[in-house]
Amino acid sequence: MASISGISSASPTLKRQKPLLKPTSLLRKDSGSVSVSFPARSKLADRGFSVSVAREISAELSTADGAPAKKKGLVKDPHALWRRYVDWLYQHKELGLFLDVSRVGFTDEFVSEMEPRFQAAFKAMEELEKGAIANPDEGRMVGHYWLRNPKLAPNSFLRLQIENTLEGLLKFSNDVVSGKIKPPSSPAGRFTQVLSVGIGGSALGPQFVAEALAPDNPPLKIRFIDNTDPAGIDHQIAQLGLELASTLVIVISKSGGTPETRNGLLEVQKAFREAGLNFAKQGVAITQEGSLLDNTARIEGWLARFPMFDWVGGRTSEMSAVGLLPAALQGIDIEEMLAGALLMDEANRTTVVRNNPAALLALSWYWASDGLGSKDMVVLPYKDSLLLFSRYLQQLVMESIGKEFDLDGNRVNQGLTVYGNKGSTDQHAYIQQLREGVHNFFVTFIEVLRDRPPGHDWELEPGVTCGDYLFGMLQGTRSALYGNDRESITVTVQEVTPRSVGALIALYERAVGIYASLVNINAYHQPGVEAGKKAAGEVLALQKRVLAVLNEASCKEPVEPLTIEEVADRCHAPEEIEMIYKIIAHMAANDRALIAEGSCGSPRSIKVFLGECNVDVLY
Ligand SMILES: O=P(O)(O)OC[C@H]1O[C@](O)(CO)[C@@H](O)[C@@H]1O
């Protein structure tokens, strides 16, 4: 199998004992002085990849007079700043997209120092696009770039898979929208609603795109179940009401075994049964071939199944069936989304950093956060329809970059925190802190030049429209933050269209990939989330033991209420007493356990039993 040149595929766990280099004094950029020293220089420095190298670059970059480059501070002279703006402004003519990194303070020396690392990242990206095992821990190729340009796929089998899936989902969505494919027993005579069941990468892209691009009156309206919260699920089903009969349920899960999604499916199927509806005739699965979900859908004869490919990660799946099918059903032009992404990918293939928008983003992130995630990325789109972009980017960036080990097995605890909502709304919330409070962030403004469709604008005061205010708020905040040494990036698009949204997604997917190479981590796996899933499984297993113990005591004559200590002892899990208390408190809050004595506020006082004895499970 191919592997990316220059990147070791060694298992991270093999070398985890390596000591972490710790700065002996703090890096203080804000105070205008940088003071960092290290107990030892990393052996990896020469390899041009590791986090310790990032620290060294931050610390050692020198100007002609020997002062650290970062000590220079931000350019403030208006003429020099204008020159910097013009010099660094990136424009993608065809997409009408601009990227301004002039308000990030990287120096020319820094850019030169980073050049070899960028060239290595470009090489790695080239290998990835050719089909290298770019996700070594999972032994997987990483192929989301092929989705918008199937000719790039490393073999004709994969190319055909992509093309056939796209063709199939376009036909399916056309048939649903036109009413050729219809629900079996709806008075509407056609599907009117989509209920999407999925979580994480199987929800965030479709949610973002729906909010950004769905027309005011879509052919099918979309709702989401993206959690195992029973009340949230009930709310979605209740909102559908009688329209459940004309709801197309799309269950999305790459693995086909994610518990939250399975629970959502079971809850929806129950609602269908209770309404006397045949779920299979209204169910669609998007999952890997042969997964549990795929097999269920096949055996139960669901309306349709679409593949999720092994080589597409959840957080980069918006241009696969995961994102495209829900979008198409809402009347969104998915071919335009793909075209925008393709154009952006092409631009991101240049190996000249200043002409490569994704590289410019990665460069800015690296500078602003010292290649260590020392500053958070606040994403502020000044456009309501882009509200969910920050939430979408949160997963894309944090699940990709937030890693314990680098590709050489060194413990690095990398990350880049992303949060934000929208402007100017957030100016009336937390931007007070950004301007004046703790300096632990940089901002990305997303600017949309077109305020509203042509012909609808009016001046709400002489010479000023509503959109002018939005523009003014963005520019004012950018200036005010910079005036207080807060760095920012601005991405500008003409309009929020399928093409520009496709381009934005592709821009950030690539920036994440390049940044991951710069800091030498695997962007394409997520070992950390497994720990939480495993622990949740253990809690549920313990709950079953607690139930069995309570059931046995509750089947006695007379019923024997138990203290938490007694339950823990009888479960042979005295060390789990706190968790047992929480399990019992949760069951009591849901009327599944009854408190005979005491109250949950004082755990030692409780005596608990079950309202009913279940003789079938007595052991
Ligand atoms: O599509 P699936 O397999 O249900 O996974 C959903 C999400 O869960 C994660 O695996 C994290 O638990 C994400 O990476 C993924 O997008």
pLDDT digits (tens, 9 = 90+) for 584-608: 999 999 999 999 999 888 999 999 9
Write the burial class of residue 157 (CB in 10 Å: 0-12 exposed, 13-18 middle, 19+ buried): exposed
Which residue is listed with tokens 């849901």? 590
CA proximity to 133, closest of 154, 151, 118, 119: 154
Could you read off the pLDDT of 286-295 as tens digits, one per residue?
999 999 999 9
428 among known catalytic residues: yes
Nearest-atom index, ligand 1, CA of 260: 4
Q: List the CATH number of the domain containing 366.
A: 3.40.50.10490
Altogether, the residues listed in the chain come to a count of 619
- Cα of 261 vs centre of ligand 1, distance in Å, is 10
- Cα of 415 vs centre of ligand 1, distance in Å, is 19
Could you read off the pLDDT of 377-393 as tens digits, one per residue?
999 999 999 999 999 99
The predicted model gives 354-364 an average pLDDT of: 98
Q: CA of 40: how far to CAs of 43, 44, 51, in Å? A: 9, 11, 14
CA proximity to 1, closest of 121, 101, 140, 107: 140
Domain limit, last residue, from 313, 332, 351: 332
**Shared-domain flag, residues 274 and 320:** yes
**Shared-domain flag, residues 423 and 508:** yes
pLDDT at 502 over 50: yes
- Cα of 587 vs centre of ligand 1, distance in Å, is 28
Amino acid letter, residue 264: G
Nearest-atom index, ligand 1, CA of 314: 16
- Per-residue pLDDT, 619: 53
Task: Return mean pLDDT, the chain.
Answer: 90
Task: Decide if 564 is inside a domain.
Answer: yes
**Shared-domain flag, residues 427 and 490:** yes
Write the burial class of residue 46 (CB in 10 Å: 0-12 exposed, 13-18 middle, 19+ buried): exposed
Which pLDDT band holds residue 68 (cuts at 50, 70, 90)? very low
- Domain of residue 321 covers 146-332
Strands 97-100 and 90-92: antiparallel
**Shared-domain flag, residues 164 and 304:** yes
**Shared-domain flag, residues 172 and 247:** yes
The torsion angles phi and psi of 251, rounded to 5 degrees, stand at -100, 120
* Ligand 1 pocket check for 262: Cβ under 6 Å: no
Domain limit, last residue, from 520, 536, 564: 520
- Cα of 258 vs centre of ligand 1, distance in Å, is 7
Residues 56, 211, 318, 399: which is the catalytic one?
399
Residues 76, 235, 428, 572: which is the catalytic one?
428
Tell me the best of 254, 260, 396 to mutate to test the pocket of ligand 1, counting ligand atoms within 8 Å of each CB and taking the most: 254
When divided into structural domains, the chain yields a total of 3
- Cα of 313 vs centre of ligand 1, distance in Å, is 8
**Shared-domain flag, residues 267 and 285:** yes
Which pLDDT band holds residue 618 (cuts at 50, 70, 90)? low
pLDDT at 298 over 80: yes
Domain limit, last residue, from 520, 548, 580: 520
Is the Cβ–Cβ distance between 389 and 208 less than 8 Å? yes
Task: Decide if 128 is inside a domain.
Answer: yes
Task: Decide if 275 is inside a domain.
Answer: yes
* Ligand 1 pocket check for 200: Cβ under 6 Å: yes
Interior angle at CA 166, CA 390 and CA 98, nearest 5: 40
Tell me the best of 137, 138, 199, 306 to mutate to test the pocket of ligand 1, counting ligand atoms within 8 Å of each CB and taking the most: 199
Tell me the best of 196, 197, 228, 258 to mutate to test the pocket of ligand 1, counting ligand atoms within 8 Å of each CB and taking the most: 258
**Shared-domain flag, residues 463 and 354:** yes
**Shared-domain flag, residues 391 and 507:** yes
**Shared-domain flag, residues 209 and 313:** yes
Q: What's the rounded Cα separation, in Å, for the pair 413 and 15?
A: 14
The predicted model gives 565-586 an average pLDDT of: 97
**Shared-domain flag, residues 452 and 506:** yes
pLDDT at 15 over 80: no
Q: CA of 45: how far to CAs of 50, 120, 521, in Å? A: 7, 14, 15
Nearest-atom index, ligand 1, CA of 315: 16
456 among known catalytic residues: no
If one counts every other C-beta atom within 10 angstroms of the C-beta of residue 67, the result is 13
Q: What's the rounded Cα separation, in Å, for the pair 617 and 474?
A: 63
pLDDT at 175 over 80: yes
Say which residues have a Cβ less than 8 Å from residue 302's Cβ, sequence separation at least 6.
280, 283, 284, 285
- Cα of 145 vs centre of ligand 1, distance in Å, is 19
* Ligand 1 pocket check for 420: Cβ under 6 Å: no
Nearest-atom index, ligand 1, CA of 317: 16
Nearest-atom index, ligand 1, CA of 322: 1
Nearest-atom index, ligand 1, CA of 530: 12
Q: What's the rounded Cα separation, in Å, for the pair 297 and 251?
A: 10
**Shared-domain flag, residues 515 and 533:** no
Is the Cβ–Cβ distance between 525 and 135 less than 8 Å? yes
pLDDT at 1 over 90: no
Task: Decide if 515 is inside a domain.
Answer: yes
**Shared-domain flag, residues 152 and 255:** yes
Q: What is the DSSP string of 567-613?
A: HHHHTT-GGGHHHHHHHHHHHHHTTSSEEEES-TTSGGG-EEE-SS-
Could you read off the pLDDT of 234-253 as tens digits, one per residue?
999 999 999 999 999 999 99
pLDDT at 476 over 70: yes
Task: Decide if 394 is inside a domain.
Answer: yes
- Per-residue pLDDT, 242: 97
Is the Cβ–Cβ distance between 444 and 489 less than 8 Å? yes
Tell me the best of 207, 224, 252, 255 to mutate to test the pocket of ligand 1, counting ligand atoms within 8 Å of each CB and taking the most: 255
Nearest-atom index, ligand 1, CA of 533: 12
- Per-residue pLDDT, 12: 34
Q: What's the rounded Cα separation, in Å, for the pair 227 and 345?
A: 32
Say which residues have a Cβ less than 8 Å from residue 72's Cβ, sequence separation at least 6.
63, 105, 107
Could you read off the pLDDT of 505-563 as tens digits, one per residue?
999 999 999 999 999 999 999 999 988 888 999 999 999 999 999 999 999 999 999 99
- Cα of 254 vs centre of ligand 1, distance in Å, is 7
Write the burial class of residue 81 (CB in 10 Å: 0-12 exposed, 13-18 middle, 19+ buried): middle
* Ligand 1 pocket check for 396: Cβ under 6 Å: no
Tell me the best of 227, 529, 534 to mutate to test the pocket of ligand 1, counting ligand atoms within 8 Å of each CB and taking the most: 529
Which pLDDT band holds residue 72 (cuts at 50, 70, 90)? low
Task: Decide if 53 is inside a domain.
Answer: no
The predicted model gives 564-588 an average pLDDT of: 97
Interior angle at CA 445, CA 439 and CA 447, nearest 5: 165
Q: List the CATH number of the domain containing 551.
A: 1.10.10.10
pLDDT at 11 over 80: no
Query: 3-state SS of 268-329?
Result: HHHHHHHCCCCHHHHEEEEECCCCHHHHHHHHHCCCEEEECCCCCCHHHCCCCHHHHHHHHH
Task: Decide if 395 is inside a domain.
Answer: yes
151 among known catalytic residues: no
- Per-residue pLDDT, 531: 84
Residues 533, 544, 556, 572: which is the catalytic one?
533
* Ligand 1 pocket check for 258: Cβ under 6 Å: yes
Task: Decide if 349 is inside a domain.
Answer: yes
- Per-residue pLDDT, 22: 32
Is the Cβ–Cβ distance between 563 and 550 less than 8 Å? no
* Ligand 1 pocket check for 255: Cβ under 6 Å: yes
- Cα of 315 vs centre of ligand 1, distance in Å, is 8
